[in-house]
Amino acid sequence: ISFGTFYSDDGHVDINQMYEGKAEITSDVDARISQLILKQVTMRESRRIKCRVQIPGDDMGQTSATTLLVVLVAPSAPVCRIQGTAEYGYNLSLTCASDEGSPVPTYQWQSYDVRNVLRSFPPKTTEKDGVLSLFNVSSDTSGYYICTATNKIRSATCNLTLAV
């Protein structure tokens, strides 16, 4: 899709209807500069953006160039869930995922016991891509499990209560 076009002969600017009020093009032909201004960018604008110049009767030289726009989005509050049966002797997975986030967030779990004291995970626990796998759970496994989703903008957490 095109954001819009600047016509140097009469200074007219056409902005794509989808970007009306969101995109502006300001150009100075003498200074050989054209600026695309994007307001309130979203993930939709996270893409390669190309600028193309047309001179009637002249297609020599470099007529276009591209740049990469990376829109950063803070992680949304992660959703944490228990998968499996929270009963003595079972294996459980705790999952953690943010719907939004750019770059894609990384996830980290922490565990607090029922008295809210930070502790290490029980033996054989594994953690990968936001999934914490608990092996052979017991009442000792009960407590609070905090998942933190982090990207370069910010962190967000969820707090899951596990009662075995």
Ligand X SMILES: *[C@@H]1O[C@H](CO)[C@@H](O)[C@H](O)[C@H]1NC(C)=O
* Among the listed residues 59, 116, 120, 128, the single contact to ligand X using CB under 6 A: 116
Specify the residue, 53 or 164, whose C-beta has the smaller distance to ligand X.
164
Residues numbered 89 to 108 that lie near ligand X (CB under 6 A) are 89
Min CB(131)–ligand X separation in Å = 20
Residues numbered 122 to 141 that lie near ligand X (CB under 6 A) are 136, 138
Q: How far apart are the C-alpha atoms of 29 and 15, rounded to whole Å?
A: 18
Nearest to 105 by CA among 145, 148, 146, 70: 148
* Among the listed residues 13, 74, 146, 164, the single contact to ligand X using CB under 6 A: 146
Specify the residue, 63 or 136, whose C-beta has the smaller distance to ligand X.
136
Residue 144 interacts with ligand X (CB under 6 A): yes or no:
yes
Residue 159 interacts with ligand X (CB under 6 A): yes or no:
yes
Min CB(8)–ligand X separation in Å = 58
User: Is 151 in contact with 78 (CB distance < 8 Å)?
Assistant: no
Specify the residue, 6 or 90, whose C-beta has the smaller distance to ligand X.
90
Q: Is 160 exposed, middle or buried (0-12, 13-18, 19+ CB in 10 A)?
A: buried
Q: Is 79 exposed, middle or buried (0-12, 13-18, 19+ CB in 10 A)?
A: middle
Q: How far apart are the C-alpha atoms of 99 and 101, rounded to whole Å?
A: 7
Q: How far apart are the C-alpha atoms of 80 and 83, rounded to whole Å?
A: 10
Chain residues binding ligand X by CB under 6 A are 89, 116, 136, 138, 144, 146, 159
